[in-house]
Amino acid sequence: MSAEAKFPAANMPVTVLAWLGTLAALYFARDLLVPIVLSLLLALLLMPIVRRLRTWRVPDSVSAFVLVATIVVLFGIGVLTLASEAQRWVVDAPKILSRASQLVPTEIGPFKHLKAASKAMQDMTRSDDEAPPLQVEVASHDTMFAALGVSTHFIAAAIIVFVLTFFLLAFHSTLLNQAVESRDSYNDKRTIVQLLRNVEDGVSRYLLTITLINCGLGVVAGLMLWMLEIPNPVLWGVMVTMLNYVPHVGAFFCMGILFLVGAVTHESLAYGLTIAGMFAVLTSLESYFITPYVLSRSLQLSPLAIIIAILFWGWMWGIAGGLMAAPLLAVIKLTCDQFESLHGLAAVLTGETEKPHGPHY
């Protein structure tokens, strides 16, 4: 018997150091890893479309170019269309919070000292000599991008994502063949192909389903806000779509933002609460009825596991990590389903006691 088997505790420092090194690498390499992981998820999302076009004798490179070009055009149109409105809301955020605080019945309960605190904050930021108001002029789209935190770093990351996505889609079959040919045994080759296909199919199905659900929720929310005469309903619909990739947590952020927008727009706290309540009903229908009905049981994730994943990846990679937390968790869960030794972890991620069904390796 080896020394490691006799004294497993002796390996504990090495194991701890290995995990700490991995976490440090994930954190400090986030500028490189975030675009790579995002491109992998985007490629998995678009892979079913490439396969369908392949059955129609369309080359993978052509399909990849058309899909990526379409996404780039839509992304550019969306940014140019919504940037000015988003910038205005970002710049006016302090005023919106101040106006919302004036609508709260401050003589009641915990809101008793809210106005006094708000006035104190304004006094702290006000100079002794009142200066004339500054006229802010938006001269170019660069100014808008800067107000939104969009920099050359963001543009470079977006280019990396789109380029990597194209190559992953165009040369996916070549990469798969090279991975298979590296094995000598026919059984090993078949196992690798089956494993990769199962994981790829499951992740693609999950991402495509979630994306369609999120887009549908964003469209319905935008129409609801348009009928309620809320300004910029398209902007809020896009926000709902993006934040819904962060299950549970994203819905609370959306409710808070829509409450503020509704209350300030119509100068009524009750109106803001009504809009937030209507969105709560809408997102509850999506979360508890539509998504569980559309997604198979094997693709559903435990809410606790999702929250922990959001906290972890948000801490590691910021906002991008929080948005990718649930898809990454789905990738891990679907991969664990393929290995019998990892079925326990898969059960923890889904919150179920039954063993996952499917091939075991």
122 part of a folded domain? no
In-domain check, residue 187: yes
Residue 19 lies in a domain: no
pLDDT, residue 127, reads 47
pLDDT the model gives residue 203? 84
pLDDT of the residue at 118: 53
Domain annotation covers residue 121: no
pLDDT recorded at residue 131: 47
Instruction: For residue 7, tell me if it sits in a domain.
Output: no
With CA atoms as reference, report the closest residue to 359 among 140, 146, 191, 114: 191
pLDDT tens, N- to C-terminus, the chain (361 residues): 555 555 556 677 788 888 888 899 999 989 899 999 999 999 988 988 998 999 999 999 999 999 999 999 988 888 777 777 777 777 777 777 777 677 666 544 555 555 555 555 555 545 444 445 444 444 444 554 554 445 677 788 889 999 999 999 998 888 777 777 777 777 777 777 788 788 888 888 888 889 999 999 999 999 999 999 888 899 999 999 999 988 888 899 999 999 888 888 888 888 889 999 999 999 999 988 888 888 766 567 888 888 899 999 999 998 889 889 888 988 888 888 878 888 888 888 886 655 555 555 5
pLDDT at 116: 55
Complete DSSP assignment for 35-67? HHHHHHHHHHHHHHHHHHHHHTT--HHHHHHHH
The total number of structural domains that make up the chain: 1
* pLDDT of 288: 85
φ, ψ at 171 (rounded to 5°): -115, 25
The answer to whether residue 11 is domain-embedded is no
Q: How many Cβ atoms are within 10 Å of 334's Cβ, its own excluded?
A: 23
14, amino acid identity? V
Residue-level pLDDT at 194: 80
Could you list the residue range(s) of the whole structural domain that residue 258 is in? Answer: 27-109+144-350
The pLDDT score that the predictor gives to residue 167 is 94
- Which residue's entry shows tokens 């964003």? 218
The answer to the question of residue 130 being in a domain is no
* 236 located within any domain: yes
